[in-house]
A and B are shown apart, each in its own frame.
Chain A
Amino acid sequence: SQQGEEDPQALSIQEGENATMNCSYKTSINNLQWYRQNSGRGLVHLILIRSNEREKHSGRLRVTLDTSKKSSSLLITASRAADTASYFCATGFNEKLTFGTGTRLTIIP
């Protein structure tokens, strides 16, 4: 079974609002990563947080990691229409990189 599961499966918000999506995973990790996928395209890396880190920022992105709860959250602030995409968390452990089921984010102009 897949390592990660995102919640919610789909999210629609107004442009300018913040978007939060969550990821839960099952086993040990070296790191947790978030990727974005625009419709019909390959995945693009957004941010990586190591297992010994609790929070990380990159531009409008904020990621948190709670290894005791085996969960992570991705916050996108001040959303834009261009943020409309699917977002996936991925866990890295040893040589494996395993993805979750994704959150479909729609930004309403």
Chain B
Amino acid sequence: NAGVTQTPKFRVLKTGQSMTLLCAQDMNHEYMYWYRQDPGMGLRLIHYSVGEGTTAKGEVPDGYNVSRLKKQNFLLGLESAAPSQTSVYFCASLARRGMNTEAFFGQGTRLTVV
């Protein structure tokens, strides 16, 4: 039982390049989330999804796009990477059950944009 798996774990991008981060969960969870974590800022919500085919914006959505074509996968895309997107990205999933349940996190993707 893998839980939540993020790929890749590390990546270095040049300014202007694009990339996709993949989050996969095997717990049949309805809700999935993408966060970024920066020093002193805690975790900030980028985008989230409440089910297959649905996405919504979080606190800091600019510069990112997401897709949830399959229930188990939630993709985060950077169309044109900027140094300000250097961060650690975390994916989480949560079973719906009225939201009163814990979230499970992946191990993170450390992204550096140079």
Interface residues, chain A, CB within 8 Å of chain B? Answer: 1-2, 4, 30-31, 33, 35, 40-45, 48, 50, 88, 90, 92-102
Count of chain B residues with Cβ under 8 Å from any Cβ of A? 29
Q: What residues of chain B lie closer than 8 Å to A92, measured between beta carbons?
A: 99-100
Least CB separation from B43: chain A residue: A99
Report the Cα distance A4→B42, complex, angstroms.
10
Whether A33 lies near B102 (C-beta < 8 A) is yes
Q: What residues of chain B lie closer than 8 Å to A4, measured between beta carbons?
A: 42
Tell me how far the C-beta of A27 lies from the nearest C-beta in chain B, rounded to whole angstroms. 13
Q: By DSSP majority rule, is chain B's interface helix, strand, loop, or mixed?
A: strand
Q: What residues of chain A lie closer than 8 Å to B92, measured between beta carbons?
A: 43, 97
Q: What residues of chain B lie closer than 8 Å to A96, measured between beta carbons?
A: 45, 48, 58
Q: By DSSP majority rule, is chain A's interface helix, strand, loop, or mixed?
A: strand
Interface residues, chain B, CB within 8 Å of chain A? Answer: 4, 31, 33, 35, 40-45, 48, 50, 56, 58-59, 90, 92, 94, 98-108
Tell me how far the C-beta of B43 lies from the nearest C-beta in chain A, rounded to whole angstroms. 4
Q: Which of B4, B42, B102 contacts A99 (CB 8 A)?
A: B42
Least CB separation from B103: chain A residue: A97
Report the Cα distance A43→B37, complex, angstroms.
11
Q: Which of A1, A33, A43, A95 contacts B31 (CB 8 A)?
A: A95
Instruction: Knowing A42-B106, A95-B31 are in contact, say whether A101-B42 is a contact too (CB < 8 A).
Output: yes
Whether A45 lies near B102 (C-beta < 8 A) is yes
Q: What residues of chain B lie closer than 8 Å to A100, measured between beta carbons?
A: 42
Whether B59 lies near A30 (C-beta < 8 A) is no
Q: What residues of chain A lie closer than 8 Å to B100, measured between beta carbons?
A: 30-31, 48, 50, 92
Instruction: Knowing A2-B44, A43-B90, A97-B45 are in contact, say whether A48-B107 is a contact too (CB < 8 A).
Output: no
